Structure 1
Amino acid sequence: MADWEGTIENLGSELVDFNGPDDPAIARNWPPRRKWAIIAILSTMSFVTPLASSIFAPSVPQCLAEFGSNSTILGSLVVSIYILGYAAGPLAIAPLSELYGRSPMYHATNIGFIIFTVACAVSTNLTMLICFRFLEGVAGSAVLTIGGGTVADLFVQEERGRALAFWTLGPILGPVIGPVAGSFLSASKGWRWVFWLLAIVSGSITASFLILLRETSSTAILRKQAKRARKTTGNPHFRSCLDGDQATRQAFHKSIIRPIKLLVGSPIVASMSTFAAIIYGYLYLLFTSFTPVFEQSYGFSPDVVGLCYLGTGFGMIVSLFGFGVISDRMIKMKSIKNKGEMKPEYRLPPMILGGIFVPIGLLLYGWSAEKQVFWFVPILGTAFFGFGFMASFMPIQAYLVDVFTVHAASALAAATVWRSIVGALLPLAGLPMYNALGLGWGNTLLGLLGVAMIPVPFLLITYGEQLRSNPRYRVDSW
């Protein structure tokens, strides 16, 4: 709070604003150590909540046996219902964060995540477990929904690539490492200890949030400044210059429907979200196929089969660090060539490479697994897929943040909702599709759909600026 003292400026109409672009209260002007400490704790929690989406998968048979069920649909649902929580949570979390700030939402949802995780651990029947898994997913979606907005608060455009890569490391590694850890933990301690471990780890991270996190949203910071001005001066008319004339209820209503409007009405958000949804759905579909494929076709034991997920993780990490190093450097070079102009479209070229690697990885995995080629070959295919996934996913995140800045949380929420719905539902149809078509032709079908998405980055590189400048698609006009 001390850093904000002296930043109130009465603009003659009792509006509170920052004292210029160099005001130390603006999150982008904070010391690098503070900014990177916030990114570090965000990345850590962003690892744990996606970890929760997949760590339970290997112990599903054990859980079903305890509750006396042999339904494969319920077995898939108890895993994928968490992802449906990811779809529901952003619709409220994103607008609330833009109205009241990031910090309160992080604290509330982190505590909720711990409570619902403990409830999963003590569940006495399958219905109870499924319900609390959904609520666990709702709470866990916060760091993924508003994390990009926090990055936009803390860093200028030419610095965001490295920060986004660091923040995204957690969400990418979590679903990959989850099955590896879950297979060994459930085999030795039972499925309930999967949730107890998540509760213990998330509890420690929540304590770090309470100690280290500071509010980064300029809207929330100025609103607090205005409240302080009203209290110290006795003048009830002070308000933030970023607050509109709308009442809070009207502002919330406008904010809560903004992600849906963006998803439906913005060609940029619609195309980026659909691209992300397809590859995200593929990721979880592949995850559902690894266990039966490598156990039945290659004779892997239930505890060792979790290691098969590491191929995807290796490809993701290579791509992630490549993007983190290249993205900011590339955008600076392009801006120099264009007389210092920084365009969000400079983020998109890696998507072209990603769009090519995704279908290559799917085809290599599908046909080599169907023909039962040496086990390393299908895992290599998953590594190619992981590389393509990351090369596509990171530019999508960075592009949406650069384009929508103040409303980045809403844009990312729209993308999160759509990809979470696809990620939850596609695996339910995945195994029946593979049973009908086989791994080879099933993955060929998926690869062809991936090929159809390759033109998306080309189109946005060419026409993205026109779409951004078109008044019809401006967020603040909705």
Structure 2
Amino acid sequence: MKEFGFGQVPATLPLTVFGLGFGLGPMTLAPLSEAPAVGRTPIYVWTLLAFVLLQIPVALVSAPCYWRHLHCGKFTPRKRGLAIGVWGVAARWAIWELMWISGLALIMLFFFLLEINGRNILYRQAHRLRRLTGNSLLMSDGEIAYKHVAVRKVAYLTVIRPWILTFTEPLVFLFHTWVALIFGLLFIWFTSFPLVFEGVYGFNPGQTGLSFLGLLVGALLCIPSFVWYDRGVQRRMFDEGGHIMKPEQRLVPAMVTAATIPIAIFSALYRRC
């Protein structure tokens, strides 16, 4: 905040925008991945590629700042080259690390991620057979279903219909509202860590970073109970065809653990007081 000259509220804007993208992205891209001609793998690869590329301007955004310091005479002309390199690496080292890890994941997804959308697999097989045999009548079920469908109808099915279901189906609306509340509380929790641990308890930035390990501990504690529920309870809910008989049963763990959220908030406020 000191480097860019703005306050606490504008500093939370990137986190807010991230939350919007985190929610709005699946609302449009997830239905699009079900289209036979698109599939799921391209969605994963192209969106991760965009994420990797967007890390570059984020990592380089401090360029005007350190150029200002250099021109103020902080370094002599002989040392400015080394200073630029050291500052550029150190000031945005975390962003570069994120880009490297994401880039590695992108390479692995590009070469090893297999398509799991059955309609897209059949679509590509039919396209390959048409190219090899020259028979234009070879078509997959997905192509036949979408052959006489207008572009407007496809856009409605893949983009608009999820929004209509959200605001017309009470169960879908309540579930989306619940998920939005959970993620909203989670992101607000992130922004409160520096304010509480540094402003109240006097932690330094390194110690404040260690406080986020509590999230990892909580996630690890949830794994055994989730595995027990999945192996011991949920698998009995499927019929012989592999279809779950009561889809609402998947919400039971969320209903049980929902009580931990107000308990955690009360605990944090109690310790604050």
Do Structure 1 and Structure 2 share a fold, with TM-score over 0.5? Answer: yes
Which residue number corresponds to residue 292 of structure 1?
Answer: 195
Which residue number corresponds to residue 83 of structure 2?
Answer: none
Cα contact 1:117–1:195 (8 A) shared by 2: yes
1:193 aligns with 2:93: yes
Which residue number corresponds to residue 103 of structure 1?
Answer: 41
Which residue number corresponds to residue 208 of structure 2?
Answer: 305
Which residue number corresponds to residue 357 of structure 1?
Answer: 260
Unaligned runs of 5+ in 2: 65-88
> In the aligned structure 2, how far is the partner of 1:351 from the partner of 1:80?
24
Deviation at 1:308, TM superposition (A): 1.5
Q: Which of these two proteins has the greater Rg computed from alpha carbons?
A: 2
Deviation at 1:124, TM superposition (A): 5.3
1:66 aligns with 2:7: no
Q: Which of 142, 153, 159 matches 1:242? A: 142
In the superposition, the TM-score normalised over structure 1's length comes to 0.47
Q: 1:274 to 1:328 in 2, by over 3 A?
A: farther
Which residue number corresponds to residue 347 of structure 1?
Answer: 250
Q: Which of 108, 112, 115 matches 1:208? A: 108
In the superposition, the TM-score normalised over structure 2's length comes to 0.79
Cα contact 1:101–1:217 (8 A) shared by 2: yes
Which residue number corresponds to residue 19 of structure 2?
Answer: 83
> Cα RMSD (Å) of the superposition?
2.6
Q: Percent identity, aligned pairs only?
A: 32
Q: Which has the higher contact order (CA 8 A, sep 6+)?
A: 1
Which residue number corresponds to residue 82 of structure 2?
Answer: none
Q: Which amino acid aligns with 2:34?
A: E
Deviations 1:407-464, CA, capped at 9 Å, x for gaps: xxxxxxxxxxxxxxxxxxxxxxxxxxxxxxxxxxxxxxxxxxxxxxxxxxxxxxxxxx
SS, match of residue 348 in structure 1: helix
Deviation at 1:334, TM superposition (A): 4.9
Deviation at 1:259, TM superposition (A): 2.0
SS, match of residue 233 in structure 2: helix
Deviation at 1:198, TM superposition (A): 1.0
Q: Which amino acid aligns with 2:48?
A: N
Deviation at 1:218, TM superposition (A): 0.8
Q: 1:91 to 1:345 in 2, by over 3 A?
A: closer
Deviation at 1:123, TM superposition (A): 2.1
Deviations 1:181-208, CA, capped at 9 Å, x for gaps: xxxxxxxx64422211111111111111
SS, match of residue 251 in structure 1: helix
Correspondence 1:20-419 to 2 at 5 A? 64-67=1-4, 69-99=5-35, 100-123=38-61, 190-243=90-143, 244=145, 245-248=148-151, 250-334=153-237, 342-370=245-273
> In the aligned structure 1, how far is the partner of 2:250 from the partner of 2:19?
27
Cα contact 1:327–1:347 (8 A) shared by 2: no
Cα contact 1:95–1:252 (8 A) shared by 2: no
SS, match of residue 245 in structure 2: coil
Deviation at 1:361, TM superposition (A): 1.4
* Larger helix proportion of the pair: 1
Deviation at 1:321, TM superposition (A): 3.3
Cα contact 1:102–1:215 (8 A) shared by 2: yes
Deviations 1:301-328, CA, capped at 9 Å, x for gaps: 2211111222233122211332133224
